[in-house]
Structure 1
Amino acid sequence: MTDYRRALEEAVRFLREHDRFLILSHVNPDGDAIGSTLAVAAMLEQLGKSYVLVNESGAPDKFSFLPRFERICNLSQDLAGDTFSAVIAVDCADASRMGDVRHLFAPDAALLNIDHHPTNDAFGAVNVIRTDAAATAEILYDLNEAAGLPITEDFALCIYTGLLTDTGGFRYSNTSPYNMEIAARLLRYGVNPGDVAERCLEVITLSHVKLLRQALQTLRMSHGNLVASVFVSRQDLESVGADREDAGGLVNYCRNIEGVEVGVSFVEAEPGTVKVSLRARSRVDVSEIAKQLGGGGHAKAAGCTLRGTLAEAQERVWNALGQALGVNADE
């Protein structure tokens, strides 16, 4: 038996041995985080278990079409001092990515950690980590199978959403024969691929368009034109009525410029807090850079949150990129 299969069996025991669960995903969640959260909820319902879904940042409205979306709480909602002895974290590259949620853990809390990030530090009592999986949703498909549970329409939609978003519509290099096979199987359970792609990949807010127009005016080329960066301040967000969610995807405009190896977006999410997103082409493992700066992710897509001003965040990231590329920022 492989280590992965053994981990899946341990996770199945965890699900069966407990009756009430807290399900968490990473702060500023994406389609895989939300899809995986809701897929676990669907599995637990089949097992006759109860659960509470929490995300520190709340869930982006674009995923409101997913079943049980309305049950995801953020930390501003009153949970009546509730604590949980069984915790499931999905798509969290390390424990800090769960956010400020430790007050929800009972003193005897056991944690099941399900994730696909190479930077995951196995912070759970039970860890199911497969770094070659395109998405955490791919691992949950395997877990559902290991538990002997049928695929429901709700479960299929959540897993498909996680796969679609984390592979960029099955365009990124993490697309594999296996995850394409899973996606094909899920279509048999009522998933409408055109509808999911429209909601997750195509529709953008007017605020995003306005913010994009502002951000592109800040575009800077550095490191011998191998790095392209854009910068968004709190004032920029406020001037167009945008929020942090509207800044999602700006980094891709940088990375997609011909000849660029690394794209970076710097977004001042709160005064003194800068969210950094990194996207790489081939020469740089940006997960290593993000990890140096207290973040994590994948070789070609990673991020971190830095304290300080936009200028201070830029200096730290550009210095790290200079070391990785062997080219100074001003060359």
Structure 2
Amino acid sequence: MMNSFSDATRFIQSTDHVLITGHLHPDGDAIGSTLAAAWICKSLGKTVTLANDSHVPDRYLFLPDADQIEPAEEIGRRFQYVLALDCADEARIGKVRHLFSEGVQICNIDHHATNDLYGAVNIVMPNASSTVEILMDWMEELALPLDRTMATFLYTGLLTDTGGFRYSNTSPKVLMQAAKLVSMGIEGHHLADRLLETVSFRELQLLQVALSTLTLSFNGKVAWMVLTQDDFKELHATSDDIGEIVNYARNIEGVDVGILFREESDHFKVSLRSRGLVDVAEVAKCFGGGGHARAAGCSMDEKSMEAVEQQVLHAIYERLGGLPV
């Protein structure tokens, strides 16, 4: 069932303390929406606890209060009321679910088309560019005054989830919202430099390794790369250093789908990007994942990288006409 902003407001007003979380391995929208939602809840007089399954990536730690987002295992209490942001399903909340009390009530605010409406309150808008876009609408309905700090949180989510206002989700509304946020005095060019342009040395090293595995197939419409656990160990790299490496596969002229296959300790992760011929959210959904038509991902429990590649590529080839590799 879909709900209204009024339902979300009543949800927050029904408690004194709210647990706020975004999806595991948080990106700019998950971090920005977590901080923005905390700002809204505090404005409504509520106490908040901010948590995530994963630590906050270094590139976001400059944001005000980003250090207040705690790892789930460091929080020693349980919560009855939870605000889940940018999570297409409850599994994306990860270890934060261990903080839920029996009979937990979840307010689910998200923009993924694959969202399964797992909350008691569901504000899911697949046409929104980002979860922060939805929160900005909610804030305006509440008539809360915008300040520079809140503008920074919102702009972070808009900027990163639209790829610097380059992706197809960059609607006229998004640009008008961005203009309003910039008018609050934030320096959009500095945020773009820190969030989109600056990369770690290890990210470039990982990119070098990934490019050495680059494979092109299906008449040049699919390209993929592979990173193994050994690659990460040799470079002393972490998942924070992956960045948007997958885009290098999709950005090849003539390619529609770019893929990054990544080995983890007990499973494999698959990142998918598309120019539009293939709905990669539907591909990811076949393997328990989700996302958007042009950017999605999943985790797979298989015995080998070869098995993962074979299954994912088969699902993509079917959607491109069913031709073999």
With normalisation by structure 2, the TM-score equals: 0.97
Deviation digits for residues 211-241 of structure 1 (CA, Å, limit 9, x no counterpart): 1111100001122221000000010111112
Residue in 1 that maps onto 2:44: 47
- Out of 59, 62, 65, which is 1:65 matched to? 62
Residue in 1 that maps onto 2:22: 25
Corresponding position: 1:221 with 2:210: no
- What is the number of equivalent residue pairs in this alignment? 324
Shift of 1:103: 2.2
Tell me if the contact between 2:80 and 2:105 (Cα under 8 Å) persists in the aligned partners: yes
Q: Which amino acid aligns with 2:51?
A: V
Q: Which amino acid aligns with 1:107?
A: E
Residue in 1 that maps onto 2:198: 203
Residue in 2 that maps onto 1:297: 291
- Out of 291, 308, 313, which is 1:313 matched to? 308
Residue in 1 that maps onto 2:183: 188
Corresponding position: 1:282 with 2:276: yes
Shift of 1:143: 0.8
Tell me if the contact between 1:284 and 1:299 (Cα under 8 Å) persists in the aligned partners: yes
Residue in 2 that maps onto 1:154: 149
Shift of 1:27: 0.9
Q: How far apart are the structure 2 equivalents of 1:12 and 1:145? A: 12
Higher deviation after alignment, 259-268 or 68-77: 68-77
Tell me if the contact between 2:85 and 2:108 (Cα under 8 Å) persists in the aligned partners: yes
Shift of 1:148: 2.0
Tell me if the contact between 1:42 and 1:154 (Cα under 8 Å) persists in the aligned partners: no
Q: How far apart are the structure 2 equivalents of 1:197 and 1:23? A: 26
Higher deviation after alignment, 124-133 or 143-152: 143-152
Q: Which amino acid aligns with 1:271?
A: S
Go from structure 1 to structure 2 and tell me whether the alpha carbon gap of 1:106 and 1:95 turns closer, same or farther (over 3 Å shift): same
- Out of 18, 30, 36, which is 2:33 matched to? 36
With normalisation by structure 1, the TM-score equals: 0.95
SS of alignment partner, residue 76 of structure 1:
helix
Q: How far apart are the structure 2 equivalents of 1:230 and 1:67? A: 35
- Out of 240, 244, 253, which is 1:249 matched to? 244
Q: How far apart are the structure 1 equivalents of 2:183 and 2:290? A: 35
Tell me if the contact between 2:89 and 2:117 (Cα under 8 Å) persists in the aligned partners: yes
Shift of 1:329: 4.4
Instruction: Please tell me the root mean square deviation across aligned C-alpha atoms, in Å.
Output: 1.3
Q: Which amino acid aligns with 2:45?
A: G
Tell me if the contact between 2:23 and 2:52 (Cα under 8 Å) persists in the aligned partners: yes
SS of alignment partner, residue 263 of structure 1:
strand
Tell me if the contact between 1:86 and 1:110 (Cα under 8 Å) persists in the aligned partners: yes
Structure 2: tracts of 5 or more residues without a match:
none
Tell me if the contact between 1:208 and 1:246 (Cα under 8 Å) persists in the aligned partners: yes
- Identity across matched positions, percent: 45
Deviation digits for residues 257-276 of structure 1 (CA, Å, limit 9, x no counterpart): 000010000111x2231111
Structure 1: tracts of 5 or more residues without a match:
none
Tell me if the contact between 1:251 and 1:265 (Cα under 8 Å) persists in the aligned partners: yes
Q: How far apart are the structure 1 equivalents of 2:286 and 2:11? A: 33
SS of alignment partner, residue 173 of structure 1:
coil
Deviation digits for residues 153-174 of structure 1 (CA, Å, limit 9, x no counterpart): 2111000000000000000000
Displaced runs of 4 or more, over 3 A: none
Q: How far apart are the structure 2 equivalents of 1:103 and 1:260? A: 41
Higher deviation after alignment, 220-229 or 291-300: 220-229
Shift of 1:190: 2.2
